Amino acid sequence: MIKLAIFDIDFTLTRRETLMELFRYVMKKNLKNIRYIPRAIYCGVMYGLKFYDEKRVKEGFLKFLDGVDEADLAIIVKDFYENRLTNILYADAINTIRKLKREGYLIYLISASPEFYLNEFYNIKEVDKIIGTKFSFKEGKFIRRMDGANCKGEEKVRRLKEELSKEGLEVDFKNSIMYSDSMSDKPLFDLVGKPYLINYKKGHPDIEVLTWK
């Protein structure tokens, strides 16, 4: 049986929220994209008022990439990873990934953020699997429609088990590890024997809190 080391991404591997960083990055690359700022603010307000769920917010927010050719999007996210994402990684997170890989764990990154840019984290050679929220392409163009459910909470567990089944892997969950900054990942915490909260300000009576920089 294999052992997993599972990592959330936003505020666990990275110091900032990656989708917002992508938005800022694209704005800076082309100032014409500032026209999407009011939509982004509107989506945030509607989510705060509970008129939009996370799926609708993400589909609305990603308007700034709507209709982008798949090949062009690949260039954008590669550039984004190399010039932005690599600069906001916690060194402690990367060191932990490397240590656990040497100890024989499979490294899984599971996040609610869009998979189309999270896949760039395969550039970290120790990473074995990335699972994120999927979005659709039509006739070679990005159409900002979520493909399936938002990869959060129980959906993370479902997606993980789906991938493990596809690959025919049996997991020793009792000796597997989960790292996240948020209790929204409780379903994954409950799945493993060694859960850790990252930079969690409130503290937790049952889960050890680690401080990463």
CA atoms of 192 and 177, how far apart (whole Å):
6
Q: Please, which pLDDT band fits residue 41 given cuts at 50, 70 and 90?
A: confident
**The pLDDT value given to residue 35:** 76
Q: What are phi and psi of 202, to 5 degrees?
A: -80, -20
Instruction: Answer for the pair 13, 90: CB distance below 8 angstroms, yes or no.
Output: yes
Q: Please, which pLDDT band fits residue 179 given cuts at 50, 70 and 90?
A: very high
pLDDT digits (tens, 9 = 90+) for 92-119: 999 999 999 999 999 999 999 999 999 9
188: part of which helix (H) or strand (E)? Answer: helix 186-191
What's 4-210's CATH class?
alpha beta
What is the model's pTM?
0.93
- Among 144, 135, 87, 129, CA closest to 115: 135
